[in-house]
Structure 1
Amino acid sequence: MGAVMIAERLEKATPENWMFPPAEGWTVDQVEDLELPFDWELVDGVVVVRGRTVLWHNHVRSRIERRLAECLQEPYDVVAEQCVLIDKYNPPVPDVVVYDKRGIDLFEAKYIPVEKAVLVVEVVSPGSRQDDRVRKPAMYAAAGVKNYWRVERGEDGLPEVHEFWLHSETGQYISAFDRPVHTRKLETDRPFSVVIDLASLVGF
């Protein structure tokens, strides 16, 4: 009787039980309706509080999304703050993701399958340094996402974009050969031609 009640209680994560996941962890289906008074992500089946972002971070994120939208080529689209499903225990929410929109129903899709993601962008903030520099790029690389940008705040306050490509043999990210760190201007042809005045991301 008690075991049955526990199993029923753990069918879905709720505001009362989210901190007590099942032995194998919560799945994306179990947490999809979870509402908590803070931002959170599911990491290896555990609900993890996301660090609070600052105004600089949010301006840079929204303007990178806008600039990428201006440069888009078929069959790609771009969105911010959207789940990318790596597996049922790991649906991270990148700051910005460019994806192949073919086969994705805009009106029905709950998340972007990781195999559709071609570029993931993470803007580093005080609460996400370890995640954006270590954990998330390793996870995205292991899942086969070909391009990763890590956006840092430079000493002058302007964004600096660290561009990484997925090495086809090692399955790990390597720095872009010609310009591993973009300052003042980002110019790349991966996953398509993009030119961004980085100072414009903070209104300069």
Structure 2
Amino acid sequence: MIAERLEKATPENWMFPPAEGWTFDQVKDLELPFDWELVDGVVVVRGRAVPWHNKVRSSLERHLEDCRTEPYAVLAEQCVLVDEYNPPVPDVVVFEKQGFDLLDAEYVPVEKAVLLIEVVSPGSRQDDRVRKPAMYAAAGVQYYWRVERGDDGLPEVHEFWLPVGKRAYIPAPLHPVHRGKLETDVPFPVTIDLATLVEL
């Protein structure tokens, strides 16, 4: 009976994971009346994103889609499977699309991800500044952007690179923090007037 009950996470049992934790397959169909994420096999409630966050996320996705080059694709709010107990949902994912079946895929395999972007919200500061970049770097994702809200209300992009053979990010050598304008050549050339990300 217990083994049966724990085959899948449900609205009744999600808060009682098995000893080893829930897996992606066990929670992928779980519907709850709030935003959540699987962290180390535990269903964790996420704070709702504010309009500033959502506007910046959708604008970044659009800009990156407009300037992306082959062999890359861009998606927003897409699960990236780091391991079966950790399928985070970055705000924007840039990944290599060879062999990726858009019709059947349930997630982006972490080995295909080349850039992950998190837009910081009041409820995600620790995750976006510490836990997620450490996890992404350990998984070998080459680039990470953390987008913060500046004192003037405009986005600031903190750009990080993963050195070859390392498992921790370093600030991008030439422009670790982009204010006013984002200019970078990796993973492909991107130039964005950051003020346009919050224009309605």
Which TM bucket (shorter chain)?
over 0.9
Q: 2:80 aligns with which of 60, 81, 84?
A: 84
Matches within 5 A, 1:36-185: 36-185=32-181
Q: How many residues align?
A: 200
TM-superposition CA deviations, 1:141-188 (whole Å, max 9, x none): 000000000000000000000000002233210001111000000000
Q: Which secondary structure state, in structure 1, belongs to the residue aligned with residue 152 of structure 2?
A: coil
Name the SS of the counterpart of 1:133 in structure 2: helix
SS in 1 for 2:29: coil
Q: Distance in 1 between matches of 2:127 and 2:42?
A: 15
Question: Runs of 5+ in structure 1 lacking a partner?
Answer: none
Q: Kindly provide the amino acid, as one letter, of the partner of residue 42 in structure 2.
A: V
Question: Residue type of the partner of 1:105?
Answer: D
Alpha-carbon distance in structure 2 between the residues aligned to 1:110 and 1:84: 9
Taking only the aligned residue pairs, the percentage that are identical comes to 76
Q: 1:26 aligns with which of 22, 25, 31?
A: 22
Letter of the structure 2 residue corresponding to residue 70 of structure 1: D
Secondary structure at the counterpart of residue 164 of structure 1: strand
Name structure 2 gaps, 5 residues minimum.
Answer: none
Deviation (angstroms), 1:52: 1.2
Larger Rg: 1
Aligned-residue Cα RMSD (Å) equals 0.8
Q: Aligned match of 1:195 in 182, 191, 194?
A: 191
Counterparts of 1:158 and 1:32, CA distance in 2: 35
How does 1:5-24 map onto structure 2 within 5 Å?
5-24=1-20
* Residue type of the alignment partner of 1:157: G
